[in-house]
Amino acid sequence: MKTIYLDNNATTRTAPEVVEAMLPFFSDLYGNASSMHSFGGQVGKHIATAREQVAALIGAHPSEIVFTSCGTESNNAAIMGTLYSYPEKKHVIICRVEHPAVLNVGHHLQARGYRVTELGVDGSGNLNLDELRAAIGDETALVSIMTANNETGVLFPVDEIAAICRERGTPFHTDAVQAIGKIPMDMRKSPIDLLSLSGHKLHAPKGIGALYIRKGTKFSPFLIGGHQEAGRRGGTENVPYIIGLGRAAEFVTAHMEEENTRVKALRDRLEKELLQRIPNTLVNGNRDCRLPNTTNLSFEYIEGESILMLLNEEGICASSGSACTSGSLQPSHVLRAMGVPFTAAHGSVRFSLSIYNTDEDVDHVIEVMPPIIERIRDMSPFWKDYQAGKPPSSFLTGGDVEHHVHG
Ligand code: PLP
C-alpha cells in the first residue's frame, strides 16, 4: 500500500539532494573543523558555506547563525541565554499556544521563581496585541511568541510584535520552527532579535537546528563548553547535519513559490471538499492567516484518534489533537486555549502537506474520509445523542491527559 504522508508539521522527508550533500561528511571528510591541520580546516570551510546558506534563507548575516541540535535546543538557548544576560529581570512573556519546547520552559522558570505571563488567544487563535503591550514591564527580560502554530498553522504578526518589543527595549524571540521553509522571512526587514528553526521541518534530517541571534543582541551561551559557534554554543560541530541544513535551506528557498501556490491549492482543495462532503465539520484557526500547508479540521462528536486509526489503514498519515486514555479525554492545549467546544476539539485532525504531495494523494483522502467519518459516527453515542437533540454527554468533557499532536 502506498503511504500518503500528510504529517509534515510532525516531520518532513529528508530531500534526496540533502542526503547526497551530507554523505561525504560521513566518510572522507571527517576532520574536526577546530583542528590546526588543513584536513580539518577544509571542513570548516564547508560549515561556513552552510552558515551562509542558512543565513540567506532568513536574510541574516552568517555570523548571526548558531547551529544547534534541534528546534527545542534553539528555543531553550534563546530563552535561557537571554535570561542569563539579564539576571536582574525576572519576567518572561510567552503565549498559551506555544509548542512544549517554549511552554514547558515557561513552567520550568515559574517553578524557579520567575513570573511568566501566558498570553491567551481568541477563537481564531489570534493574539490581542494590547494585552501584550500591557504585559511588558521594566522587569520583562524576554517576549517569546511563535511565528506559526504547529497544530493549526495560524500565523502570528511577529514583525509587529517585535516592533512593540523593540519600542519598549525588550528582546523578542520567535519560535519559527513551523514557518521557516514554508513562508518567506527576512531579518533585514524585521526587528526580531532571536529566531529558532529546525532542520527536520524543512527537509533536512532530525537532530539539527539553528538559532538566529541578531548582531548586538545580548546572549550568554546555554550549552557551555568550547569556543565553537563563536563561543555561543559549545560542542564539536555535527558536520554532516550542518551541511544538510545548509543544503535544505537552498532546497526550500527554491520550492517556496511552489509551497505557496501548488501545495496551498492542494490544501485548500482538501479542506473545501471535506467541508462540503462531511456534515458537522469545522476548520480550527484563522483561515486567512495560516501556513499554506496546514489544515486542522474538527469532525464533531467523534474521536480524532479513531479517525487516525482508520486513515492509517488506508496508508494515510495525519495527526490528531486529542488523546483517549483510560476513558478520560482531553483535547489539545491549543484548541482548548482557542475555546473550541469539546464536542469539536476531540474530533480534530491535522493534515499538513509538503511539496512531495500530489493531486492523487488529496483525491484519495477526499474519497476515503466521508465513509470513515460515517462509520465512526454510526458507532458514536455522542453523535446519536446529537442527532436525537440531546445535550452532549459529560464524558466528552473528561479528565486531564496529555495530547498527542507531534511536531
Ligand atoms: N517548535 C515548534 C513550533 C514545533 O512544531 C517543533 C516540532 O516538534 C519544535 C519547536 C521542536 O523542534 P525539534 O523537534 O527540532 O526539537
Question: Over the stretch 253-273, which tens digit does the pLDDT of each residue have?
Answer: 999 999 999 999 999 999 999
The Å distance, Cα 42 to ligand 1 centre, comes to 32
pLDDT of 327 > 70? The answer is no
The Å distance, Cα 178 to ligand 1 centre, comes to 7
Provide CB contacts within 8 A for 218, sequence distance 6+.
82, 85, 86, 171
179 lines ligand 1 (CB under 6 A): no
Choosing from 95, 165, 289, 324, the catalytic residue is 324
How high is the pLDDT of residue 390?
Answer: 87
Pocket perturbation via mutation, ligand 1, pick of 95, 96, 99, 319 by most ligand atoms within 8 A of CB:
99
147 lines ligand 1 (CB under 6 A): no
- Per-residue confidence band for 321, with pLDDT thresholds at 50, 70 and 90: low
150 lines ligand 1 (CB under 6 A): yes
- Per-residue confidence band for 330, with pLDDT thresholds at 50, 70 and 90: confident
The three cell numbers of residue 284 are 480550527
Query: Which helix (H) or strand (E) element contains residue 100?
Result: helix 100-110
DSSP letters along 269-313, please?
A: HHHHHHHHHSSSEEE-S-TTSB-TTEEEEEETTS-HHHHHHHHHH
Beta strand 115-119 pairing with 91-95: parallel
- Per-residue confidence band for 400, with pLDDT thresholds at 50, 70 and 90: very low
- Per-residue confidence band for 399, with pLDDT thresholds at 50, 70 and 90: very low
Pocket perturbation via mutation, ligand 1, pick of 103, 177, 203 by most ligand atoms within 8 A of CB:
177
Q: Give pTM, 2 decimals.
A: 0.95
How high is the pLDDT of residue 135?
Answer: 98
95: left (phi over 0), alpha (psi -120 to 50) or beta: beta
Q: Is 407 helix (H, G, I), strand (E, B) or coil?
A: coil
**Pick from 99, 71, 61, 69: nearest CA to 186:** 61
The Å distance, Cα 196 to ligand 1 centre, comes to 9
354 lines ligand 1 (CB under 6 A): no
Give the position, in ligand 1's atom list, of the atom nearest the Cα of 199. Answer: 15
Q: How far is CA 210 from CA 97, 126, 214, 250, in A?
A: 22, 26, 13, 15
CB-based contact 226:34 (threshold 8 Å) = yes
pLDDT in tens, 72-111: 999 999 999 999 999 999 999 999 999 999 999 999 999 9
Q: CA-to-CA distance for 164 and 148, rounded, in angstroms?
A: 18
How high is the pLDDT of residue 322?
Answer: 54
Q: Is 254 exposed, middle or buried (0-12, 13-18, 19+ CB in 10 A)?
A: exposed
The three cell numbers of residue 286 are 484563522
**Pick from 179, 111, 119: nearest CA to 143:** 119
Other Cβ atoms closer than 10 A to 129: 14
Give the position, in ligand 1's atom list, of the atom nearest the Cα of 150. Answer: 5
Torsion of CA 388, 393, 397, 400, to 10 degrees: -130
Q: Average pLDDT, stretch 358-373?
A: 98
pLDDT of 405 > 70? The answer is no
The Å distance, Cα 10 to ligand 1 centre, comes to 8
334 lines ligand 1 (CB under 6 A): no
Angle value at C-alpha 150, between 149 and 156, nearest 5 degrees: 15
pLDDT in tens, 290-307: 999 999 999 999 999 999
Pocket perturbation via mutation, ligand 1, pick of 198, 208, 211, 352 by most ligand atoms within 8 A of CB:
198
Q: How far is CA 124 from the centre of its chain?
A: 17
Active site residue 317: no
